[in-house]
Every structure is written in C-alpha cells, then in structure tokens.
C-alpha cells in the first residue's frame, strides 16, 4: 500500500513539480525540522515513562532505559509491518525484564486504547472546528469501504469463537494456550482502571499528543513556501496523516500523501504540501532508524552486563 501511494504521488507530478519538491528540500529551514524531531523524541520519552504506570500494578518494575529502547526498537520494527513493533516490544521486556509476554502486550493494548481515545477526542475537536468540510470528505471516502472485507472478518471471528467453545476438540490444547494468552492481554488492559497514579498517567498522555501536534506545527515552518497555517488546518492534517501509520509500515508513502490531500482541502499548493509531508516523514523516520537501530544494538550489551554484575 505504501509503495502504491508513492507510485500514485509520482505519477501525478510533472517535471516542474518534482524540481519544486527538490528545491523545497534544498531550501528548507532545517532548524525547525530539528526542533520538531526534539519534540517527537520528548513524546517517545514520555511514553516510555508512562508505561511503568501500567506495569507497576501487575507487580513489575521496568528500568527507564529498557523502556525507552524497547519503544524505539518497536517503532523501528513497525516499518516492516504495522503493529509488529508492539509484539517486539513485549518480547523485549519479556527477555530483559522477565515480564510475561501476554501481560506486557496487554499493557501495550491498554496504551493503544488510550491512544485511540486521544485520537477520537482530536477528531471530535476537528469536527467541531470544521464540521461541514470533514463530513463532506468522510462521505466521499465512505464509498470506498469494502463491505465484503468486513463480512469476511466477522466470519473469521465467528470461526475462532466457535473453536474456543469446543473444549473436546483435538485442538483444545492450542485453544487453551490462546485463551491463556488473551486472558493475560485482558489483565494487562484492565490495569488501566486500577492505576494508582491515574493523573500522572493522564498528564503524560496529554503531553504525548500535545508534542505530536506541536512537532507537526513546528516542522511546517521549515517549508517557506507554505502559508501560515491555522490550528484548524494543522489539527485536521495531523489527524489524517497520523491515521495512515495504522495502514502502512511507518506511514511510508501514505503519510506525505495524506498531508498533501488534507492541505489541498484548504486550497494550499499540492507541491508545497507534498514537500512538507516528505520532509516531516523523512525527519521522523531518520530519528526512528537512528535511535531504534542503536537501541537494538545496545539492549543486549547493557542487559547482559547487568546480569553479570548481579551474578
């Protein structure tokens, strides 16, 4: 899908457009881009710290350094397949912090639920600010929903539930393990309602998403061809581009295209919009590649050294 988005973007550009995008990259004010990267890094650090609030009620304490490196590693692995990083993140803390995989992933599921809630709140705010425009675009997009795919998903889900209910089945042992795994996920998810530091958790959640939005706004200043963007434009474009990460590995191809499309709703040049989309995506991707790659390399060394010191 990401490659398809890149191909679509290229085919809609002529030679002058491509030269303009190259010129935008050359003339961009990268001090703003660096500032945006710093804000993005702060959001990741806050997410790393927030994770401990979900793990503590389960009886596990995770070192901040391991939490940070697990999250950066997860973001990097997400570039291979959407949400693959979440499983990798759970595996990392299982390996180095002895946190059961299903419970670790359960807390990550709880995190994702909070993220969905935050995005939903932002969408409601966006709808309130620009209701007519968004509803028109959503109506246009609704014609592309594949109902057959939805029906197929329900059939698969029904089949899984049927197997779960058959205790005499030959595959009961496997099903039992699956049930145990999902029970762990459920326990991890329900921890969110038993937090002792609820307000600190909420404050970190607000901070994370505030940094995301500020990162987007600050980075837009790098492209001098863009006009001064209102909060409405920033918010709607941020929401749409962020959603692309759910459907493509790291938002490759789709993220810049989403920025271009959302900016075009407000009459902003498609070339300048696409330039900003690629600058924004590239800067964040480079940050993830650098810190994620370093995390994957450093994790075994610091944890093996720690275990040697303990023994």
What pLDDT does residue 291 have? 96
SS3 content of the chain, % helix, strand, coil (to 5): 80, 0, 20
Q: Which among 261, 294, 231, 224 has a CA at the least distance from the CA of 33?
A: 224
What pLDDT does residue 155 have? 62
Cβ neighbours of residue 272 under 8 Å, at least 6 residues apart? 20, 24, 223, 225, 226, 263
What pLDDT does residue 72 have? 96
- Tell me which long-range contacts 243-248 makes (C-beta under 8 A, separation of at least 24): 243/119, 245/78, 245/82, 246/82, 247/1, 247/82, 248/1, 248/2, 248/5, 248/82
The string over 103-128, giving b where at least 16 C-beta atoms fall within 10 Å of a residue's C-beta and e elsewhere, is bbbbbbbbbeebeeebbeebbeebee
Q: Strand, coil or helix: what is 136?
A: helix
pLDDT tens-place string over residues 170-226: 555 555 656 665 665 566 566 667 778 888 999 999 999 999 999 999 999 998 888
pLDDT tens-place string over residues 259-293: 988 898 888 888 888 889 999 999 999 999 999 99
Is it the case that residue 23 has pLDDT exceeding 70? Answer: yes
Measured CA angle at 288 (ends 217, 252), to 5 deg: 75
What pLDDT does residue 49 have? 94
Is it the case that residue 11 has pLDDT exceeding 60? Answer: no
Higher pLDDT, 11 or 199: 199
Distance CA 275, CA 268 (A): 12
What pLDDT does residue 175 have? 59
Write out the DSSP string of 49-63.
HHHHHHHGGGT----
Query: Stretch 73-86: mean pLDDT, rounded?
Result: 87
What pLDDT does residue 269 have? 86
What pLDDT does residue 24 have? 78
Helices 231-243 and 254-264, axial angle in degrees (round to 10): 150
Which pTM does this prediction carry? 0.79
What pLDDT does residue 3 have? 52
Higher pLDDT, 177 or 77: 77
Cβ neighbours of residue 225 under 8 Å, at least 6 residues apart? 24, 269, 271, 272, 275
Higher pLDDT, 169 or 99: 99
Is it the case that residue 256 has pLDDT exceeding 60? Answer: yes
What pLDDT does residue 21 have? 75
Q: Strand, coil or helix: what is 28?
A: coil
What pLDDT does residue 160 have? 58
Query: Stretch 24-45: mean pLDDT, rounded?
Result: 92
> How many contiguous H segments (helices) and E segments (strands) does the chain have?
13, 0
Higher pLDDT, 110 or 44: 44
Query: Stretch 122-131: mean pLDDT, rounded?
Result: 84
């Amino acid at each position: 899908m990401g490659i398809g988005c890149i191909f679509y973007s290229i085919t809609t550009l002529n030679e002058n457009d491509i030269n303009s995008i190259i010129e935008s990259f050359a003339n961009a004010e990268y001090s703003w881009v660096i500032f945006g990267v710093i804000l993005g890094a702060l959001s990741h650090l806050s997410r790393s710290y927030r994770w401990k609030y979900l793990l503590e009620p389960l009886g596990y304490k995770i070192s901040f350094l391991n939490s940070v490196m697990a999250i950066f590693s997860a973001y990097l692995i997400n570039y291979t397949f959407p949400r693959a990083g979440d499983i990798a993140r759970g595996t990392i803390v299982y390996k180095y912090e002895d946190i059961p995989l299903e419970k670790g992933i359960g807390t990550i599921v709880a995190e994702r639920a909070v993220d969905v809630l935050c995005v939903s709140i932002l969408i409601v705010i966006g709808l309130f600010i620009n209701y007519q425009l968004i509803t028109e675009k959503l109506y246009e997009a609704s014609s592309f929903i594949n109902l057959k795919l939805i029906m197929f998903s329900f059939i698969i889900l029904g089949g899984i539930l049927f197997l779960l209910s058959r205790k005499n089945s030959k595959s009961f042992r496997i099903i039992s393990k699956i049930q145990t795994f999902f029970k762990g996920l459920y326990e991890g998810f329900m921890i969110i309602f038993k937090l002792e530091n609820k307000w600190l958790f909420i404050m970190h959640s607000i901070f994370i998403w505030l940094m995301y939005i500020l990162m987007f706004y600050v980075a837009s200043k790098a492209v001098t061809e863009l006009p001064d963007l209102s909060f409405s434009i920033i918010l709607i474009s941020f929401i749409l581009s962020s959603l692309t990460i759910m459907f493509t590995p790291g938002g490759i191809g789709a993220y810049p295209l989403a920025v271009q499309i959302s900016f075009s709703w407000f009459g902003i040049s498609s070339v300048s919009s696409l330039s900003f989309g690629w600058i924004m995506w590239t800067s964040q991707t480079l940050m993830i590649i650098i810190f994620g790659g370093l995390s994957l390399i450093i994790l075994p060394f610091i944890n093996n050294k720690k275990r040697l010191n303990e023994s």
